[in-house]
Amino acid sequence: MSAGEIPASSAPGAPQFHVLAELPWPQPPDADDDYFLEKFQASVETLPAMLHKNYSLMRELDKSLQGVQLENEQRCQQEIEDIKHGLESGSITTYEPAKLKFSDEAIEEQKHCVRIADEKVALATQTYDLVDAHIQQLDQYMRKLEELRLEKEAAAAAAAAAADTAVAATSAAPAGAGSLRSAAADPAPKTGRAGERSRGGRKNTTLFCRAKVPMEMPTEMPVEQPAIDLELPVDPNEPTYCFCNQVSYGEMVACDNPDCKIEWFHFGCVGLKEQPRGKWYCLSCSAFQKKRKGR
């Protein structure tokens, strides 16, 4: 790539990079942990290749920018020498302002450098958004897995409560009918059968009662569903930005003051709707620069 070429990502046929869509809802009714794990693994498999492509384009932009800057510096230095020589020889006077400025070619090269720098910033922002989208998608998968875990625990608790209710109802069943049925069925009990009834009278009574007196099946006791907390703990190590002192999200813009204490700002917090062209300063740095110029 020559110094004058810019790999514009917005040009026809150029590679486009898109932020991931939201988690595909609704999921299959039988979706389990493995389903979400496979989905996230499939979405993240292409991330290394996309990052490698973005970083390669950024290196090309750096190389192109350095080439254009070098050519512009040499051109401007030569034009300064020509102006000095003209003033010394008298071929140029101070009354000819048109001859005391840089040529149109030099100015166009400087604008070209700004366009390359803007393209690099846009590509860096795009790369950041790409990684951030995968992080947000991972958070969604983790939240959904937590929901599934709580649902399974609630279902298990409901089943256990229903089983306990059924056992309690069975234990409270009347034993008289069973005793009468047992005596009528076995007028002369054998030793082994008698021993079984004496040891397991409750079991036999239950069977006889079911045969003669239908029992009403216990209704399922309502089980209070545990509240599902969808809010995951915030990583205390995640840095915060902007006047709002929040973590990074959405589109953000960087202050061009190298000494800016905050550096990155959310578009909505500073009233921006698109990436600014050229240099941009936050309110604090802009006011500080105006104060310095006023001195």
Q: pLDDT tens digits for 195-215?
A: 343 333 333 333 333 434 444
Give the residue, 56 or 39, on which the prediction is more confident: 56
209: annotated binding-site residue? no
**76 belongs to an annotated ligand binding site:** no
Higher-pLDDT residue of 109, 237: 109
| Tens digits of residue pLDDT in 153-169 | 898 888 888 888 888 88
Q: Is the pLDDT of residue 171 over 90?
A: no
63-72, 170-179, 253-262, range with the lowest pLDDT: 170-179
Phi, psi of 234 (to 5 degrees): -80, 135
Looking at domain 234-295, which CATH architecture does it have?
Answer: 2-Layer Sandwich (3.30)
For residue range 40-98, what is the model confidence (pLDDT) as tens digits?
788 888 889 999 999 999 999 999 999 999 999 999 999 899 888 888 888 777 767 77
Percent of the chain with pLDDT over 70: 65
Residues 6+ apart with CB under 8 A from 146: 228, 230, 232
Is 266 marked within a binding site? yes
What is the reported pLDDT for 141? 82
Q: According to the annotation, is 18 in a ligand binding site?
A: no
Residue 113, annotated ligand binder? no
Q: Cα separations (Å) of 152 from 32, 40, 160, 225?
A: 10, 22, 12, 11
